[in-house]
């Protein structure tokens, strides 16, 4: 979104690389690469490295979501705000961000569903007994019992988390596409309040 090439280029490179790499490879690169390189920022806490790896991957996707949301705000609204005397920052804070964030909330919730599913990748980094998450527990149980039924159990729990969230996203999305009820009162905008 920046007009400065020096700002725009690193952002573009980061988003392109993190979105282009397979998730499994990124988890290995960050989760095992950082400690190997001596950057033990989380000590032996595997969740820190996994959270950082998944967070950086999802951050790349979220950056695109934020960009599309903010750029979807009609330029006429922005120009109207500027013509009322609002500064660039104040226009962003009072106009662009509130409208943009409302538009991207369904997409962000959808991204959270992907994060929940990505948490299974922490299994790759090796977990202590007390640290295991759902997929790691199910995988260990599957090995111990020589059966794949525990993985089905884990799948059921993942579904119990993600399916209701999917319906929330869909309902949210539908509600935002509906025209506003004519009975809903719109609070008059006070120019002096906005300019204060």
Partner 1 sequence: MDGLKRFLDTFFDLPLIGSTLAQLLTEGLLNTLLLAVLASLIGLVVGIGWPPD
Q: Indicate the burial class of 52 (C-beta count within 10 angstroms; 0-12, 13-18, 19 or more).
A: middle
Quick check: 169 binds partner 1 (CB under 8 A)? no
Is 69 in contact with 100 (CB distance < 8 Å)?
yes
Closer residue to partner 1 (CB): 145 or 170: 145
Spacing of C-alpha 185 from chain mean position: 33
Quick check: 66 binds partner 1 (CB under 8 A)? yes
Count of residues in contact with partner 1, rule CB under 8 A: 53
Tell me the C-alpha distance between 25 and 12, whole Å.
20
Quick check: 103 binds partner 1 (CB under 8 A)? no
Residue 38 CB coordination number (10 Å): 6
Query: What six digits make up the tokens of 21?
Result: 């790499």
CB of 109 to partner 1, least distance (A): 10
Tell me the C-alpha distance between 57 and 146, whole Å.
34
Residue from 26, 30, 50, 110 binding partner 1 (CB under 8 A): 50
Quick check: 119 binds partner 1 (CB under 8 A)? yes
Q: Indicate the burial class of 99 (C-beta count within 10 angstroms; 0-12, 13-18, 19 or more).
A: middle
Closer residue to partner 1 (CB): 1 or 171: 1
Residue from 30, 60, 81, 95 binding partner 1 (CB under 8 A): 60
CB of 195 to partner 1, least distance (A): 26
Q: Which residues make up the interface to partner 1 (CB under 8 A)? A: 1, 8, 11-12, 14-15, 47-48, 50-52, 54-67, 70, 111-112, 115-116, 118-119, 122, 131-138, 141, 145, 147-150, 152-154, 156-157, 161
């Amino acid at each position: 979104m920046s007009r400065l090439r020096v700002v725009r280029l690193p952002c573009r490179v980061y988003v392109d690389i993190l979105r282009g790499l397979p998730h499994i490879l990124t988890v290995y690169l960050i989760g095992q690469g950082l400690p190997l390189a001596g950057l033990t920022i989380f000590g032996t806490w595997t969740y820190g490295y996994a959270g950082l790896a998944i967070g950086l991957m999802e951050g790349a996707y979220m950056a695109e979501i934020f960009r599309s949301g903010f750029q979807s705000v009609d330029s006429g609204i922005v120009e109207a705000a500027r013509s009322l005397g609002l500064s660039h920052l104040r226009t962003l804070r009072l106009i662009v961000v509130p409208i943009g964030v409302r538009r991207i909330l369904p997409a962000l919730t959808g991204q959270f569903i992907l994060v929940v599913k990505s948490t299974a990748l922490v299994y790759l980094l090796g977990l202590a007994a007390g640290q295991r998450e759902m997929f790691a527990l199910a995988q260990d149980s599957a090995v111990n019992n020589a059966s794949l039924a525990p993985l089905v159990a884990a799948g059921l729990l993942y579904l119990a988390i993600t399916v209701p969230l999917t319906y929330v996203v869909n309902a949210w999305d539908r509600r935002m596409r509906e025209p506003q009820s004519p009975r809903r009162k719109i609070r008059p905008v006070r120019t002096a309040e906005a300019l204060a």
